[in-house]
């Protein structure tokens, strides 16, 4: 049974939706500015023990565009979601971005945030309209928060769950979890999360980047025995996709 720490009223949903603006989200028109500080927010795929795509982006920046003097901050947190859900059997409630976001934005001076959530947000179970609404509202709530601070945002799609390349034993008679995901979680949940991210228009969004597709296409090279977390090659592909999508290399 899932635990939900979020209760959105009709008023709050309408309030968020009513504030949407059809701003520029064309990656071709995006460019970094000198001395920018870029925070990377996400779950364990972002955190990556300090050796994932965030670290690679910093290396690319230092190598290819030292004139910009960019700083990338890794603010990923293991297990985190933007839906506030936790699956049965998880050792503790999953961290919820909005329990730390206000403090983070207040105490960390950043110009731009790269946002990557989703793989945990459906808690590895079956799709539902309520789940998709919860994820959409989570993304929009984040964008409203950064808008208040005049911080720009780059949205990344969630990465895939690569059960085809990295199969694990599944038992759909037991509760779904990160250890026992719904067999069609990638197709029926993460693909919809991807569509939600790529369809959002908001004045704070300066770019939207699909990492699900390239990681899926190259999953045999980018994943080992873990269907959730990309390997070193996978992180390189994420960083390379970001850099090329943002006209960085």
Q: What is the pTM of this model?
A: 0.89
Model pLDDT for residues 197-245, shown as the tens digit of each residue:
999 999 999 999 999 999 999 999 999 999 999 999 999 999 999 999 9
Q: Is the pLDDT of residue 249 over 80?
A: no
Q: What is the per-residue pLDDT for 205? A: 97
Q: Is the pLDDT of residue 87 over 60?
A: yes
Q: How far apart are CA 195 and CA 171, in angstroms?
A: 28
Work out the mean pLDDT of the chain and round it to a whole number: 90
Q: How far apart are CA 119 and CA 185, in angstroms?
A: 9
Q: Is the pLDDT of residue 94 over 60?
A: yes
Q: How far apart are CA 176 and CA 187, in angstroms?
A: 16
Residues 6 or more apart whose Cβ sits within 8 Å of residue 44: 76, 77, 78, 79, 228, 229
The more confidently predicted of residues 224 and 50 is 224
| Spans of all domains in the chain | 21-245
Q: Is the pLDDT of residue 52 over 90?
A: yes
- CATH 3.40.50.1110 matches 21-245: yes
Q: What is the per-residue pLDDT for 29? A: 64
Model pLDDT for residues 126-175, shown as the tens digit of each residue:
999 999 999 999 999 999 999 999 999 999 999 999 999 999 999 999 99
Model pLDDT for residues 12-45, shown as the tens digit of each residue:
333 444 333 323 345 556 889 999 999 999 999 9
Q: What is the per-residue pLDDT for 13? A: 39
């Amino acid at each position: 049974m899932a635990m939900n720490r979020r209760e959105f009223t009709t008023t709050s949903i309408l309030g968020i939706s009513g504030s949407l603006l059809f701003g520029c989200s064309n990656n071709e028109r995006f460019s970094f500015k000198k001395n920018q500080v870029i925070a990377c927010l996400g779950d364990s795929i972002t955190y990556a023990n300090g050796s994932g795509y965030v670290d690679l982006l910093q290396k690319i920046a230092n190598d290819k565009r030292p004139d910009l003097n960019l700083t990338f901050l890794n603010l990923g947190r293991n297990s985190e979601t933007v839906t506030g859900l936790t699956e049965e059997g998880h050792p503790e409630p999953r961290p919820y971005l909005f329990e730390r976001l206000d403090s983070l934005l207040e105490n960390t001076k950043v110009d731009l945030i790269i946002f990557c959530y989703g793989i945990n947000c459906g808690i590895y179970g079956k799709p539902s309209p309520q789940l998709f609404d919860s994820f959409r509202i989570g993304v929009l709530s984040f964008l409203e928060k950064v808008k208040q601070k005049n911080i720009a945002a780059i949205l990344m799609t969630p990465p895939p769950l690569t059960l085809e390349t990295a199969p694990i034993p599944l038992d759909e008679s037991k509760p779904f979890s990160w250890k026992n995901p719904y067999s069609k979680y990638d197709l029926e949940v993460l693909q919809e999360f991807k569509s939600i991210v790529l369809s959002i228009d908001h004045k704070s969004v300066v770019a939207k980047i699909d990492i699900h597709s390239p990681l899926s296409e190259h999953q045999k090279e980018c994943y080992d025995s873990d269907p959730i977390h990309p390997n070193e090659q996978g992180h390189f592909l994420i960083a390379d996709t970001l850099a090329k999508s943002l006209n960085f290399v």
